[in-house]
Copies of this chain bind each other. A is one copy, B any other.
Amino acid sequence: MHFASDNWAGASAPVAAALADVNHGLVPAYGGDDATRTATEWFAEIFEKEVSVFFVATGTAANALALAAFAKPGGFVFCHEAAHVAVDEAGAPEFFAGGGKLAPLPGPRGKIDAASLEAAIRRHQPPSVHNGRPVAVTITQASEWGTVYTPDEVREIAQVAHRHGLKLHMDGARFANALVALNVSAADLTWKAGVDVLSFGGTKNGCWCAEAVVMFDHRHADDLAYARKRAGQLFSKSRFVAAQFQGYFDHGHWLDNAVHANAMAKRLAGGIAQSKEGRLLFEPEANEVFAIWPKATSKRLRAAGASFYDWPAEGLPAEEMPAADEDLVRLVTSFATSKHDVAAFVKLLGAGDGIGV
């Protein structure tokens, strides 16, 4: 009953198998190997486009390097106020940009929209050296509240950004979950909608350690190659990441994993909705569920072996706020979440025997 995070899971069987398979022979280091080449071709196929792919160690590194590619003196990057880059990366985007800055924007359910972005940009016009200047926008897909941006929403944001000379970055730590939730193509959700660079996450959805910066505009690729090395993010034994991506992509395994995780989230949400103790904050769109229940319930669930995080309620509208004796909690499902675990958890919540959910 571990719903703390999707990164509590290990690697899925196909990913682990691919990793084992690649372990033979001596091959060139630093990405000069066949496995890295093949994995890169997979990316091109999935995105229907030649892309520049840079494996890195973590999602934080991917985000920070991607945003730093657009850094300028006095530049800042718009993001949602709950964005991982803003609250969970210990200042990595600022550090990698040599002193860059994030400009957090509010927005319901973890998403910004084109209109509020436009308004925010206008507040900095005409540009002044004192205030600094916006250089990029970053959105999280799926968002930190588990919601997803439709291709149209992405496109509208991209249009505002590009009209003002800003680049658009997408933090895709849970890209697969968003993709299958929307049932669109990876191309439609990214560069066709105006995304300039994507942090592509594989770790949360079945890999051990497989993250990549995917640049759709090659002009910045040369700089990024140096920036990655300078950041200590260029693996010598690149094949071990490449192989994970191969196992991840082969036979649509990554999409299957995401479909499963999202389905488990829906099942979990259904159970919570039926329970007498808790209530759902809103219907999950990907693999994160937010619920409110009494603090006593949290305590009881944890005592029974369940894990999940309390979540800050900041930014919620007044009518959705938990009461003083309630917790707002986040529950995350993954490829490794079993129906059994969901059922057991839901049963603890008092929603029937958990089997019907």
A residues adjacent to B (C-beta < 8 A): 2, 4-5, 7-11, 16, 19-20, 22-30, 56-65, 72-76, 87-92, 94-101, 123, 129-133, 203-204, 208-209, 223-237, 239-240, 312, 336
Instruction: State whether B10 touches A25 (Cβ < 8 A).
Output: yes
Instruction: State whether A10 touches B29 (Cβ < 8 A).
Output: no
Could you say which of B26, B74, B75, B227 contacts A229, with CB atoms under 8 Å apart? B74
Q: Chain B nearest CB: distance from A347 CB in Å?
A: 19
Instruction: State whether B28 touches A231 (Cβ < 8 A).
Output: no
Which residues of B sit under 8 angstroms from A10, Cβ to Cβ? 22-27, 237, 239-240
Which residues of B sit under 8 angstroms from A90, Cβ to Cβ? 73-74, 129-132, 226, 229-230
Q: How far is the CA of A286 from the CA of B97 in the complex (A)?
A: 38
User: How many copies are assembled?
Assistant: 4
Q: List 21 A–B pairs whose Cβ atoms lie within 8 Å, in order of A's numbering.
A: A4-B29, A10-B23, A10-B26, A11-B240, A16-B20, A30-B129, A30-B130, A58-B236, A59-B236, A73-B90, A73-B227, A87-B130, A88-B130, A90-B226, A90-B230, A92-B230, A96-B99, A129-B229, A204-B236, A208-B237, A209-B235
Could you say which of B25, B133, B229 contacts A226, with CB atoms under 8 Å apart? B133
Instruction: State whether A74 touches B129 (Cβ < 8 A).
Output: no
